Chains A and B, each alone.
Chain A
Amino acid sequence: MPASIQLICRLSLLLLLAIPIAAQAQSDDLFVERLELLTANNFKQKEQAVAGLLNLRHPNTKAVLQALLDGRLYYERASKRVVIRAAEDAFSVADAVTLTPIPDASEDAFSRITTNNQLRKNLRGAIAAFELDSPDARVRLTAVREMLRSLDEDTVALLRERVEQERDDEVRAAMTSGIALFDLDNEDAGVRLAAVERLRGSLNSDVYNRLRALIERDDDGNPVEPDPEVRAVAIDVVNGIETRRAFYGSLETLFFGLSLGSVLVLAAIGLAITFGVMGVINMAHGELIMLGAYTTYVMQLLLPDHIGAAVLLAIPAAFIVSGATGVLIERGIVRFLYGRPLETLLATFGVSLVLQQLVRDIFTANNRPVETPAWMAGSLQINEAFSITLNRAYVVIFTLLVFGLLLALLSKTTLGLKVRAVAQNRNMARAMGVRTEWVDAMTFGLGAGIAGVAGVALSQLTNVGPNLGQQYIIDSFMVVVFGGVGNLWGTLIGGMSLGVVNKLLEPYAGAVLAKIFVLVALILFIQRRPRGLFPQKGRAAEA
């Protein structure tokens, strides 16, 4: 650990252990002197200046350090006076020593005091020691975790002092881990043994690395841990930790696979309907997805202050936009080409090119930025080894919802009944009075609408540009062929399993090869079962 970090942590803790504060006036002068050192151009000098500030124990130290970390510390170029800028947009500053606001300060006269990664890391460690006193448990937990990154005697002394009084379980557990981690270096084997036991089952990476180093042999072949009992327990604890980590690792891979699978399912489910029910190969399906993504972008343009609401409103909007486009395509082109799959393929391919160029003309050829609402950003930390990114989690839930709705629509409504009838036996359905042309148009519209909704979800995960459709058209067909044409459950299971298999292979083969293996496996599968996982049954089902 670099000497400067040690120095800073040590000094920040001296600050907190009860030591009388020096006379205010004297420390003010020194404070100003140390602050001026911060205006140096050299980052090493800035680190020393921060250490010097901590040493002074001035009441404003924390405010100054927090401002420096946030990028709100400035200095007047002429006088080298250091000021703290308030967090609002307008340039309003206060003197760092007296905390009185300075009227009529012009931004041109001041320069920002810059930081780099190393300095910011030091500052976080220093501020963490202050925050151990915070009434908020979350703040205390972050502070303890920050302190765990750079443990030394003073840090641990502080933790030992505080752990008895700590009321929050999570914070106390973190403190105990920190103390135990430090005790692993203790001379007394009994203390070490107790420390190892206390660390059993911990998922913290620092703990794992430390314990692994403990059971290793050093360069001369001698074991790092001299006591055999401690070593035996340590090996046992490490094995336990490794099993737990492996378990959460596979859970994580499963989640990645499910989220990739849900993207595939969303993209493919519209195609399953149009391809399955009508036997129409719609090469413009990808562009219908793209239209849904652009609808989200437009919604966010219309509601710039409510991007979360914009994304939710974009779902029905995208359904309508893509659905209407789908109906237009069906009525205008596909209707005349029934029974001629090759021509349909070519015609819809042409439509896809037209749609791409239309989007380029309206929105420019560059990608459009779609913002993620705050409730969808970041991740949910289940424990230290396993976290779920929120946007992907929402997409998985959304996919299952859409799937459920579609299933309900097809099995419980009149439209669904008619769609199924036409799919099973068109002539008989017509003989029963079903207006097959109208049903065809509605089916195509439904498939297209679902594609639009998929586009809304995809806008949160990937770039929104005119080529978005091209990235997903192959995958959509792949899922539909694998799952069985016309079968919704087939699409769901097919898509999810393709996603999981892809993610299982990725760590070993890399992203490119994993995709290739999946495609090759699919081709081989189709040789044995040409109709897919869940083929349509019945006499009238088309071959």
Chain B
Amino acid sequence: MKHSVRLRGLKALAAAVALAAGSLAQAADTIKVGVLHSLSGTMAISETTLKDTVLMLIEEQNKKGGLLGKKLEAVVVDPASNWPLFAEKAEQLLVKDKVDVVFGCWTSVSRKSVLPVFEKHNGLLFYPVQYEGEESSRNVFYTGAAPNQQAIPAVDYLMNEVGVQRWVLAGTDYVYPRTTNKILEAYLKSKGVKQEDIMINYTPFGHSDWQSIVASIKRFGSAGKKTAVVSTINGDANVPFYKELANQKISAEDIPVVAFSVGEEELSGIDTKPLVGHLAAWNYFQSIETPANAEFIKKWHAFTKNPKRVTNDPMEAHVIGFNMWVKAVEKAKTTDVDKVIDAIIGIEVPNLTGGMAKMLPNHHITKPVFIGEVRADGQFDIVWQTDGLVPGDAWSDYLPGSKDIEADWVTLKCGNYNTKTKQCSGQNYE
């Protein structure tokens, strides 16, 4: 009896040691890259393609020999458009899987949910989506557009080129549309637009009954002044919204809708013929003709084995973020988060529209701005673009609370530094 127990114990011990050795060896062999995007739920329509983009980038880098002599390994989790689950999965990636970097999030509420987790465990997050600003965390790099790289230029285009005088600000009810609309309302008023010419409206995620709202937009727009809708509606609520616009016969020539969260991917699932002429503002469109973009699209079609898959702006942001991370790791010669955070500032990589993207001390990058009109085939015709690159400004100059705030992680070592009171505060959650 004792003999067999001891034998069993020895076998168990041997197995445990082998397992530990095996996993240790494996950990030494690969660099883990976390992918934190919703693969189900209301945001899956937008985020699933970003997961595929990161997988393609990892495969490409591995073909080039990996990073620092090791292969990259993707760790994919599905937070299912559930914001508290985002935080749980982020914790799982950082603590259990011990990833060296995470590419993830879309909605600002998902980013705000994971922010404390990344700051507590000193993780590294590359956030690829346009957002409302008012944030600059040491552990996050914002490769998507800040309001001055998307929302403000779009409003300028409508005001100056299209002659819009009445504004409908329609958004989903969460932090990104609320903050962006605050900024836009302040901006419009600073340009002389009266309160009665601004209509603001919020709907829940996944809202599908747009009848009254579209009818009130129609009424608001028939007062004799050119009206436009600035849409921060996110996720699959966009589909019934655009369908209702088409059903109530509101054409882009009467009341154009400029959307900040609708791109080629969101349009690929709906009939775009009634939407021709509606607008979107991004820093990249698939229809931009440059050699870099053509090559990227070719690689994407080969990777997904689907020549009809579209590319969009957040994908380009992941490409830029990934390449910057790789360059920073090579510069710092380690994946250690603190060293990479220091090494990445100032790094420049080419973007897909013929320019260069540079990482700034406030953890934002330089991006060009494009306004595109929807074509019948779901692609965009570029109708306007900035002359050069716009550097991302984390703290909007149009809000009284953030006018005086600077973010600078190099000299000031602070993301929320008040230049008037000369004080640094912690992360400012709106």
B89 to chain A: closest CB distance in Å? 15
Q: Is A463 an interface residue (CB 8 A)?
A: yes
Contact A117 B162 (CB under 8 A): yes
Task: Identify which of residues 259-285 in chain B touch chain A, using a CB-to-CB cut-off of 8 Å.
Answer: 269-271, 277
Q: Which of A236-244, A413-421, A435-443, A505-513 contacts B (4 or more CB under 8 A)?
A: A505-513
Give the complex CA separation of A217 and B201 in angstroms: 31
Q: Is A209 an interface residue (CB 8 A)?
A: yes
B226 to chain A: closest CB distance in Å? 11
Q: Which residues of A contact B252 (CB under 8 A)?
A: 117
Give the complex CA separation of A253 and B240 in angstroms: 19
Task: Identify which of residues 349-370 in chain A touch chain B, using a CB-to-CB cut-off of 8 Å.
Answer: 360, 365-367, 369
A150 to chain B: closest CB distance in Å? 12
Contact A117 B277 (CB under 8 A): yes
Contact A512 B203 (CB under 8 A): yes
Task: Identify which of residues 373-411 in chain B touch chain A, using a CB-to-CB cut-off of 8 Å.
Answer: 373, 375-376, 381, 383
Q: Is A142 an interface residue (CB 8 A)?
A: no
Question: Known contacts being A116-B381, A121-B253, A463-B208, is A367 close to B236, with CB within 8 Å?
Answer: yes
Name B383's contact: one of A116, A260, A507 (CB within 8 Å): A116
Q: Is B44 an interface residue (CB 8 A)?
A: yes
Contact A467 B48 (CB under 8 A): no
Contact A471 B215 (CB under 8 A): no
| Chain A positions 202 through 231: 1 when the CB is less than 8 Å from some CB of chain B, otherwise 0 | 000110011001000000000000000000
Contact B253 A389 (CB under 8 A): no
Q: Which residues of B contact A366 (CB under 8 A)?
A: 40, 44-45, 48
Most chain A C-beta atoms within 10 Å of own C-beta, residue among B212, B215, B216, B270: B212
Give the complex CA separation of A462 and B213 in angstroms: 16
B106 to chain A: closest CB distance in Å? 14
Interface size on A (CB < 8 Å)? 50
Name B206's contact: one of A210, A372, A381, A467 (CB within 8 Å): A467
Give the complex CA separation of A503 and B209 in angstroms: 10
Chain A interface, >50% SS class: helix
Q: Which of B5-13, B241-249, B357-365 contacts A (4 or more CB under 8 A)?
A: B241-249
Give the complex CA separation of A110 and B391 in angstroms: 37
Most chain A C-beta atoms within 10 Å of own C-beta, residue among B42, B162, B243, B381: B243
B131 to chain A: closest CB distance in Å? 22
Name A117's contact: one of B222, B240, B373 (CB within 8 Å): B373
Give the complex CA separation of A377 and B248 in angstroms: 10
Contact B249 A378 (CB under 8 A): yes
Contact A389 B211 (CB under 8 A): yes
Q: Which residues of A contact B240 (CB under 8 A)?
A: 461-463
Contact A377 B216 (CB under 8 A): no
Q: For residue B42, which residue of chain A has the nearest CB? A: A467
B27 to chain A: closest CB distance in Å? 31
Contact A365 B39 (CB under 8 A): yes
Q: Is B355 an interface residue (CB 8 A)?
A: no
Q: Which residues of B contact A506 (CB under 8 A)?
A: 212-213
A147 to chain B: closest CB distance in Å? 15
Question: Known contacts being A392-B211, A462-B208, is A378 close to B173, with CB within 8 Å?
Answer: no
Q: Is A71 an interface residue (CB 8 A)?
A: yes
Q: Which residues of A contact B277 (CB under 8 A)?
A: 116-117, 120
B329 to chain A: closest CB distance in Å? 32
Most chain A C-beta atoms within 10 Å of own C-beta, residue among B163, B206, B256: B206
Q: For residue A387, which residue of chain B has the nearest CB? A: B248
Q: Is A276 an interface residue (CB 8 A)?
A: no
Q: Is B239 an interface residue (CB 8 A)?
A: yes
Contact A389 B248 (CB under 8 A): yes
Q: Which residues of A contact B98 (CB under 8 A)?
A: none
Give the complex CA separation of A251 and B174 in angstroms: 32
Q: Is A118 an interface residue (CB 8 A)?
A: yes
Q: Which residues of B contact A511 (CB under 8 A)?
A: 201-204, 207, 209, 213
Q: Is A494 an interface residue (CB 8 A)?
A: no
Name A209's contact: one of B203, B212, B224, B239 (CB within 8 Å): B224
Question: Known contacts being A209-B223, A256-B215, A367-B269, is A377 close to B45, with CB within 8 Å?
Answer: no
Q: Which residues of B contact A378 (CB under 8 A)?
A: 246-247, 249
Contact A465 B236 (CB under 8 A): yes
Contact A377 B247 (CB under 8 A): yes
A3 to chain B: closest CB distance in Å? 12
Contact A260 B209 (CB under 8 A): yes
Q: For residue B381, which residue of chain A has the nearest CB? A: A114
Q: Is A155 an interface residue (CB 8 A)?
A: no
Name B211's contact: one of A114, A259, A369, A467 (CB within 8 Å): A259
Q: Which residues of B contact A391 (CB under 8 A)?
A: 247
Give the complex CA separation of A365 and B247 in angstroms: 28
Give the complex CA separation of A263 and B376 in angstroms: 31
Name A71's contact: one of B211, B243, B253, B376 (CB within 8 Å): B376
Give the complex CA separation of A32 and B388 in angstroms: 36
Contact A252 B215 (CB under 8 A): yes
Q: For residue B223, which residue of chain A has the nearest CB? A: A209
Q: Is A371 an interface residue (CB 8 A)?
A: yes
Contact B44 A365 (CB under 8 A): yes
Task: Identify which of residues 245-278 in chain A touch chain B, using a CB-to-CB cut-off of 8 Å.
Answer: 252-253, 256, 259-260, 263
Q: For residue A256, which residue of chain B has the nearest CB? A: B211
Q: Which residues of B contact A124 (CB under 8 A)?
A: 253
Q: Is B41 an interface residue (CB 8 A)?
A: yes
Contact B247 A466 (CB under 8 A): no
Give the complex CA separation of A118 and B384 in angstroms: 13
Give the complex CA separation of A379 and B269 in angstroms: 22
Contact A507 B212 (CB under 8 A): yes
Q: Which residues of A contact B201 (CB under 8 A)?
A: 510-511
Name A512's contact: one of B173, B224, B381 (CB within 8 Å): B173
A84 to chain B: closest CB distance in Å? 18
Give the complex CA separation of A206 and B221 in angstroms: 11
Question: Known contacts being A209-B224, A467-B42, A512-B202, is A389 close to B208, with CB within 8 Å?
Answer: no
Contact A379 B249 (CB under 8 A): yes
Q: Can you offer 11 A-B residue contacts whose CB atoms are under 8 A?
A: A116-B277, A117-B162, A118-B162, A253-B212, A365-B41, A366-B44, A367-B269, A378-B249, A379-B248, A471-B206, A511-B202
Interface residues of A (CB under 8 A from B): 2, 43, 71, 114, 116-118, 120-121, 124, 205-206, 209-210, 213, 252-253, 256, 259-260, 263, 360, 365-367, 369, 371-372, 377-379, 381, 387, 389-392, 461-463, 465-467, 471, 503, 506-507, 510-512
Taking A366-B48, A367-B239, A503-B212 as given, write out 7 further A-B residue pairs in contact, using a Cβ cutoff of 8 Å, ordered by the A residue number.
Answer: A71-B375, A71-B376, A121-B253, A379-B247, A389-B248, A463-B236, A511-B207
Question: Which 5 A-B residue pairs are closest in the complex by CB-CB distance?
Answer: A365-B40, A462-B208, A205-B222, A209-B224, A389-B247
